[in-house]
């Protein structure tokens, strides 16, 4: 591996707000630059190395970034990860899924696949979906979640989630790719939303309907995200990136 040669004279105009999914709060954000910490210019590679801060007031995580001249984040540490909504997800399920996402972000796809399976096991245990193996337990979820039955059946076709019979066949995982684990993560996000967040969404919609019926025009766009300030429509922080 060749070292990155650096210069102490970065091109100031490159040090823009860089967009990524924050590795700490999992929100789409445009990172803040730090006034008192200068970026470093990587000679010959047209890259900037710098420190940034998550603008989410509930997070303010410190992130090291490598960006190109267009502000695109080439690398970050900790690495950016798949965004997801933590709202209403039980602690055990959240811990397993968060680890799956972190493993994927760190290119540990086998570990990610195993943690996705653990997430599914935790969901089934939490909702009382029983069966002789994971396939049977996922099938049992049909009775307790609001999702198309074909969606749950289709989950068995994902190799990262696939049918393992009575025991986990770890020999399957070495062939799991980045794309397969990413798809499994996205599918699990939908499952989490159906199991834990659909009801709260309906409550929010009914609240909006009630406000409309009563002529209450108060801003009811309060977010369901864990950050109390996330989704603010005031434009003040403006840290949420459109996507
Ligand atoms: Zn953050």
Three-state SS for 77-138 is ECCCCCCCCCCCCCHHHHHHHHHHHHHHHCCCHHHHHHHHHHHHHHHHHHHCCCCCCHHHHH
User: Ligand 1 centre and the CA of 209: distance in Å?
Assistant: 32
For residue 178, give the H/E element and its range: helix 178-192
Which pair of tokens denotes residue 53? 């801060």
Q: How far apart are CA 211 and CA 220, in angstroms?
A: 8
What's the mean pLDDT when you consider all of the chain? Answer: 76
User: Ligand 1 centre and the CA of 58: distance in Å?
Assistant: 7
Please, are residues 115 and 82 in contact by the beta-carbon 8 Å criterion?
A: no
> The whole model's pTM is what?
0.69
Residue 167 pLDDT greater than 80, yes or no:
no
For residue 217, give the H/E element and its range: none
Instruction: Find the radius of gyration of the CA atoms of the chain.
Output: 21
User: Ligand 1 centre and the CA of 118: distance in Å?
Assistant: 25
Over the stretch 107-153, which tens digit does the pLDDT of each residue have? 898 889 889 989 999 999 999 888 888 888 888 888 877 778 788 77
User: Ligand 1 centre and the CA of 57: distance in Å?
Assistant: 8
User: Ligand 1 centre and the CA of 55: distance in Å?
Assistant: 7
Confidence of residue 99 (pLDDT cuts 50, 70, 90): very high
**Which one, of 123, 140, 242, lies nearest residue 189 by Cα?**
123
């Amino acid at each position: 591996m060749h070292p990155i040669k650096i210069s102490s004279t970065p091109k100031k105009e490159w040090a823009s707000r860089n967009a990524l999914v924050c590795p700490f709060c999992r929100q789409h954000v445009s990172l803040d630059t730090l006034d008192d910490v200068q970026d470093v210019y990587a000679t010959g590679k047209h890259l900037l190395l710098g420190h940034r801060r998550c603008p989410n007031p509930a997070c303010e995580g410190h992130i090291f970034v490598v960006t190109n001249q267009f502000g695109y984040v080439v690398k970050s540490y900790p690495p950016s990860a798949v965004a997801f909504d933590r709202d209403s997800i039980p602690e055990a399920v959240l811990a397993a899924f968060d680890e799956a996402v972190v493993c994927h972000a760190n290119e540990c796809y086998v570990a990610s696949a195993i943690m996705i399976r653990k997430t599914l096991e935790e969901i089934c245990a939490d909702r009382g979906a029983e069966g002789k193996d994971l396939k049977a337990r996922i099938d049992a979820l049909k009775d307790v979640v609001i999702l198309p039955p074909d969606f749950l059946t289709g989950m068995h076709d994902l190799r990262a989630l696939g049918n393992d019979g009575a025991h986990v066949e770890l020999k399957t995982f070495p062939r799991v790719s980045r794309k397969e684990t990413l798809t499994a993560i996205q599918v699990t996000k939908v499952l989490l939303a159906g199991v834990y967040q659909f009801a709260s969404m309906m409550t929010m919609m009914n609240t909006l309907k009630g406000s409309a019926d009563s002529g209450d025009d108060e801003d009811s766009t309060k977010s369901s995200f864990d950050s109390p300030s996330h989704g603010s429509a005031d434009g003040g922080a403006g840290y949420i990136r459109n996507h």
